Amino acid sequence: MARGVYIHIPFCHQICNYCDFNKVYFKNQPVDEYIEAVGREIEMAVRKTPEQFQNLETIFLGGGTPTALTANQITRLLHHINTLLPTKQLVEFSSEANPDELSVDKLEALRSGGVNRLSMGVQSFDQKLLEKIGRTHTNEHVFQTIQQAKRVGFDNISIDLMYGLPGQTMEQWEDTLEKALELDLPHYSAYSLIVEPKTIFYIQYAKGKLNLPTEDLEADMYDLLMRRMKEKEKIQYEISNFAIDGHNSTHNKIYWDNDEYAGFGAGAHGYMSGIRYSNHAPIKKYIETINNNDQPILHKHEVTNEEKCEEQMFLGLRKNEGVSFETFETKFGVSMKELYGKEIAKLALEGLIIEDEKGVRLSRKGRFVGNEIFQQFLLG
């Protein structure tokens, strides 16, 4: 049963150099037709298995850039969502946004359509770095848009930051953190750069032309991030996420809890009834499939019990609360220690995880090498 719904909007006015998500330039795209196709996809899914959406908690509009749409297009999209899904019961209804695209009419359209949380891609407060990574907004856009959002009625606002960027210095990162925290927002996300295939940065990296910070510098940046957030009473509840009480991302917690969610839109991924699936990514193919009254699913994978156990560990350990012994055994009918006793003992001895009567979680030291720790829980 789906706890959440993810809806992919693949349109952008500018393609970022690090982004590997399914996206296309907005210009000359069948945007209106795409919005109608998303509505029909949701309708088909709800009609087929209405019981799957009865306990829906969250909806997340991602991309691409949802705010690349016009205000009228946003209104139309949200009309479909509110008509077809039980949105009145939602705990959280989020939309990603770009600071230089979030005009007052778009903010009002989002708010009127039920969106109650904004996740803004700020990344840096250094203009040269922004240009280097392919962002088009300025600091003034960020400050102005946040004030406008508050006036429209948004009080749950998050911004994304990035570190480990090409040529980024500790001084630049410290300045970005200072400016971000001066905004005193309820939620912050901060991610280290990962150079993904099929991105501009990957091409530059392959040619030896991407000047990345050293691993030690990146670790120092992460250390500074955790210290600054703690000083400002933004509680770290996941490896990359910080919030004041009551403002943790409910939608992302669905992923980290390894619970089920539906994915709609071109290239969207979902996890329903024990099956992970992904949709056709090309927009034309996606729309054609919908117009033929078929679900646009390209790949399906029935997750084995072994894979579920692995995912419960490496997703759950991202959370500061870690993975519960009781929850693990209830879900899988086997104790965590029976499967992973040796790994837990070894990692605890090395000071990378903490074990108590409730379960296991990463130590502060372990947060720096999370990916290496997660690999220890692969059973294959």
pLDDT digits (tens, 9 = 90+) for 125-172: 999 999 999 999 999 999 999 999 999 999 999 999 999 999 999 999
Comparing CA positions, the residue from 349, 347, 351, 320 lying closest to residue 336 is 347
Residue where a domain terminates, one of 200, 232, 256? 256
Q: Are residues 235 and 352 both part of a single domain?
A: no
Contacts of 261 (CB under 8 A, 6+ apart): 2, 3, 4, 5, 6, 254, 255, 270, 271, 272
As a whole number, mean pLDDT of residues 289-297 equals 97
Query: What pLDDT score does 380 carry?
Result: 66
Is residue 276 situated within a structural domain? Answer: no
Beta bridge mates, 353: 362
Is residue 307 situated within a structural domain? Answer: no
CATH number at residue 142: 3.80.30.20
Predicted confidence (pLDDT) per residue in 181-215, tens digit: 999 999 999 999 999 998 888 899 899 989 999 99
Q: Does the pLDDT of residue 259 top 90, yes or no? A: yes
* Contact criterion met (CB below 8 Å) for 87 and 81: yes
Residue 379 CA: distances (Å) to CA of 2, 308, 347: 27, 11, 16
Q: Are residues 236 and 93 both part of a single domain?
A: yes
- Rounded distance, CA 39 to CA 76, Å? 9
Q: Are residues 227 and 349 both part of a single domain?
A: no
Is residue 366 situated within a structural domain? Answer: yes
As a whole number, mean pLDDT of residues 281-305 equals 97
Query: What pLDDT score does 25 carry?
Result: 83
Range of the domain at 358: 321-377
Residue where a domain terminates, one of 256, 283, 311? 256
Q: Are residues 183 and 67 both part of a single domain?
A: yes
Predicted confidence (pLDDT) per residue in 95-134, tens digit: 999 999 999 999 999 999 999 999 999 999 999 999 999 9
Q: Are residues 207 and 336 both part of a single domain?
A: no
Q: Are residues 47 and 146 both part of a single domain?
A: yes
Predicted confidence (pLDDT) per residue in 329-371, tens digit: 999 999 999 999 999 999 999 999 999 999 999 999 999 999 9
Kindly indicate the confidence band of residue 26, based on its pLDDT and cuts at 50, 70 and 90.
confident
CATH number at residue 357: 1.10.10.920
Query: What pLDDT score does 172 carry?
Result: 98
Q: Does the pLDDT of residue 294 top 80, yes or no? A: yes
Q: Are residues 15 and 126 both part of a single domain?
A: yes
Query: What pLDDT score does 13 carry?
Result: 85
What domain count does the chain have? 2
Burial 240-273 (b: 16+ CB within 10 A, else e): bbbbeeebbbbbbbbbbbbbbbbbbbbbbbbbbe
Is residue 230 situated within a structural domain? Answer: yes
Query: What pLDDT score does 15 carry?
Result: 81
Q: Are residues 189 and 85 both part of a single domain?
A: yes
Residue matched to tokens 């019961």: 89
Is residue 287 situated within a structural domain? Answer: no
Q: Are residues 248 and 345 both part of a single domain?
A: no
Is residue 300 situated within a structural domain? Answer: no
Predicted confidence (pLDDT) per residue in 50-85, tens digit: 999 999 999 999 998 999 999 999 999 999 999 999
Q: Are residues 159 and 74 both part of a single domain?
A: yes
Residue where a domain terminates, one of 235, 256, 277? 256
Q: Are residues 357 and 235 both part of a single domain?
A: no
Is residue 22 situated within a structural domain? Answer: yes
Q: Are residues 225 and 105 both part of a single domain?
A: yes
Is residue 188 situated within a structural domain? Answer: yes
